[in-house]
Amino acid sequence: MTDKSKEAQRDLLTRLDNRSAVIGIVGLGYVGQPLMLRYAEVGYCVLGFDISKGLVEQLNAGVSPIEHIDDSRISEAIKSGFVATTDFTRIGEVDAVILCVPTPLNKHREPDLSYVISTCEQIGPYLCEGQVVVLESTTYPGTTKEEIVPRLERGGLKVGETVFAVYSPEREDPGNINFTTSTIPKVVGGHTPACLQVGMALYDQAIDQLVPVSSTEAAEMTKLLENIHRAVNIGLVNEMKIVADRMGIDIFEVIDAAKTKPFGFTAYYPGPGLGGHCIPIDPFYLTWKAREFGLHTRFIELAGEVNRAMPEYVIAKLIGGLNARGKSVKGSKIMILGIAYKKNVDDMRESPSVEVMELVRDLGGDLSYADPHVPVFPRMREHHFDLSATPLTPETLAEQDVVILTTDHDAFDYDMIAHHAPLIIDARGIFRDLADHIIRA
C-alpha cells in the first residue's frame, strides 16, 4: 500500500471507531431495516437506499411495512439522522456501503445475481477513495472476488488500498425474539487483510461478537453451510415423516423421544416444504458453483428434491381425505391456514403455503385463506392470488369442506379449529390427539 492508501485506511478506521462515519445500507427489506436500526441505535448517521419509491416514502414517514419492526423504532432512527432515498448519486456521501439485496434463483433454479450486479452498476460511478463495500446477500463462494471486486475497480480504485471489499453474511431470523441483529455473531471475510481490518472495524461498534475468517470465499461458504445443514436435516425428517406415516407411527412422538438424548441429536421438524429467503435457495447456489469444479453434490440435491415434493404430499393427503368423504378437490371449499413461510411473521418469501394454494387452484378447489399476519395476499414475483384473509370463526370454519394447516401461527385458536372444521389436513403436527376428521400431512 502507498502512503496515501494507508492514510485513507487510517482515516476510515478512525471514523468507524468514533462513530462519525456515515453508514449506507442498500436494500431496506427484512435484512436492511434491522441493520439500519442497529447502526442508528449506536449513534451512526445512516443513509438508506432502495429502488422502491413507496418503501422509501413509508420509512421517511416513520412507518415500517415489516410487521415485527415497530414504527416507533423507525421514528427514533429518523431522530438520529436516518434518511431513506432512491437517489444513488448520494453513495458518495457515505463511508460504508452495505448491500442487502435479494439473491433469488431463476426459473432454472440457478443463481440470479441480477440484483447484486445491477446495484454495483448503480453505485459504481459514485464510489470514492476511503469507502468500504460489503455484500451481505447470500451467494456462492467467489461472488465477491469475481463479481464485486472488478466492478469496484472499474473507476480506477484499487481494492485493498483505496477502497475495501468485504463479505459478511446476514443471519437475520425474522420474528425470533431470542436473537437480535446485535446478539447474533457476525462472520466477516475480507478480500485482503486490509479489507478484513476495515470490515471488523465497521461491525465492531454494532455487533457483540465478530467471527473473522480468512477470505470472502470462506465467509460465503459459511453461510451456505449453515443453511444447507438445515435443508438436509429437514429433508431427512420430511422423508422420515412419510415412512413413519406409512408404518402407522407418529413421527412427532418419535422426534420428541429422540431429542431427550443429551448429545448427538438435534430435533428438526417436518412440514409442507421449505420457505424463507435462505433455506430453499442457498443449497442451489452451492450445487451450481460445484459444477464449475466438476462436482455433483448428490446429497444436497437429494434433500432438495425431498423438500420440494412436500407440497404435493400435502395435496395427496387432501385428495385422499376428500375422496374418503365422497368429494373431489374440484368444487370443494378449501381454506389454507397460514400463508407466511413460518409462524408468527408476515414474511411470504418462498412460502410453501403458496405452492399448496396453487396446486389447490389448479385442481379446481374453491380457495380461501386465513392468516392474522397477512391480511391481503401481497404482490409476489412469481405468484398471484386476488384474495384477502378470511376471518377465522366457528362459522367460517364450518362452511369449509376442509382446512389445511400450513403455517402454525400462535394466534390461531386450535381448539376452535379442531371443534368446527369438518376436515383438517395438518402439515405441522399441531393436533397431537388425532381424530377421524384430522389427517396428518
Q: Average of pLDDT values for 309-316?
A: 97
Partners of 187 in beta bridges = 211
Q: 437: which residues sit within 8 A by CB, 6+ positions away? A: 421, 422, 423, 424
- Taking residue 118's Cβ as centre, other Cβ atoms within 10 Å add up to 12
Q: Which pLDDT does position 46 carry in this prediction?
A: 98
Distance linking the first and last C-alpha atoms of the chain: 61
> Residue 108's pLDDT band (boundaries 50, 70, 90)?
confident
Do 3-213 and 253-277+309-440 fold alike per CATH? yes
Res 400 pLDDT > 90: yes
pTM: 0.92
pLDDT tens for each residue of 116-130: 999 999 999 999 999
Distances (CA, A) of 200 to 36, 158, 281: 17, 19, 28
Judged against a pLDDT cut of 80, whether residue 381 lies above it is answered with no
Residue 256 pLDDT greater than 70, yes or no: yes
> Under 8 Å CB-to-CB from 173, ≥6 apart: which residues?
179, 184
Half-sphere exposure of 435 (CA within 13 A, CB side): 12
Q: From 374, 382, 310, select the one nearest 342 (Cα to Cα).
A: 374
CA distance 239 to 316: 15
pLDDT tens, position by position, 40-85: 999 999 999 999 999 999 999 999 999 989 999 999 999 999 999 9
Model confidence at 1, in pLDDT bands (50, 70, 90)?
Answer: low
Confidence of residue 319 (pLDDT cuts 50, 70, 90): very high
Structure confidence at residue 150 (pLDDT): 96
What's the grid cell of residue 99?
448491500
Cα(267)–Cα(257) distance, integer angstroms = 10
pLDDT score for 175? 78
Average pLDDT over residues 5-23: 91
- For residues 183 and 383, the model is more confident at 183
Instruction: Report d(CA 200, CA 175) in Å as an integer.
Output: 27
- Does residue 412 surpass a pLDDT of 80? yes
Q: pLDDT-derived band of residue 390, with 50, 70 and 90 as boundaries? A: very high
Determine the residue type at 293: F
d(CA 171, CA 195): 21
Mean residue pLDDT across the chain: 94
Residue 173 is placed in which grid cell? 431470523
- Angstrom CA distances, 199 to 182, 334, 405, stand at 16, 51, 44
3-state secondary structure of 46: strand
**Residues 341 and 273 sit within 8 Å (Cβ to Cβ):** no
Q: At 316, which amino acid appears?
A: A
Stretch 341-354: mean pLDDT, rounded?
93
Mean pLDDT of 245-260: 96
Instruction: Give the percent of the chain with pLDDT over 90.
Output: 88
Q: Is a pLDDT exceeding 70 seen at residue 360?
A: yes
Extract the C-alpha cell encoding 209: 461478537
Averaged pLDDT, 265-289: 89
CATH T-level assignment (fold) for domain 253-277+309-440: Rossmann fold (3.40.50)
Please give the CATH number for the structural domain made up of 3-213. Answer: 3.40.50.720
pLDDT in tens, 17-28: 999 999 999 999
Q: What is the DSSP code (8-state) at residue 304? A: H
What distance in Å separates the CA atoms of residue 386 and residue 328, rounded to the nearest whole number? 23
User: Which sequence spans correspond to the domains of the chain?
Assistant: 3-213, 253-277+309-440
Cell of 46: 445512516
Residues 6+ apart with CB under 8 A from 209: 185, 186
Q: Using the 8-state DSSP alphabet, how is residue 327 labeled?
A: -
Q: From CA 358, how far away is CA 305, in angstroms rounded?
A: 19
Question: Each residue of 193-208: pLDDT tens digit?
Answer: 999 999 999 999 999 9
**Which position has the higher pLDDT, 5 or 283?**
283
What is the pLDDT at residue 280? 80
Quickly list DSSP for 56-104.
Answer: HHHHHTT--SSTTS-HHHHHHHHHTT-EEES-GGGGGG-SEEEE-----
Q: Which of 45, 120, 195, 278 is catalytic?
A: 278
Q: Pick from 313, 383, 309, 317: which is nearest to 350 by CA?
A: 383
Q: Give the per-residue pLDDT at 7.
A: 82
Q: Which residue has the higher pLDDT, 177 or 348?
A: 348
Identify the sign of the CA torsion 159, 164, 170, 171: positive
Q: Is 278 a catalytic residue?
A: yes
Give residue for cell 396428518. 440
Q: Is the pLDDT confidence value at 314 over 90?
A: yes
Is residue 402's pLDDT more than 90?
yes
State the average pLDDT over residues 176-185: 92
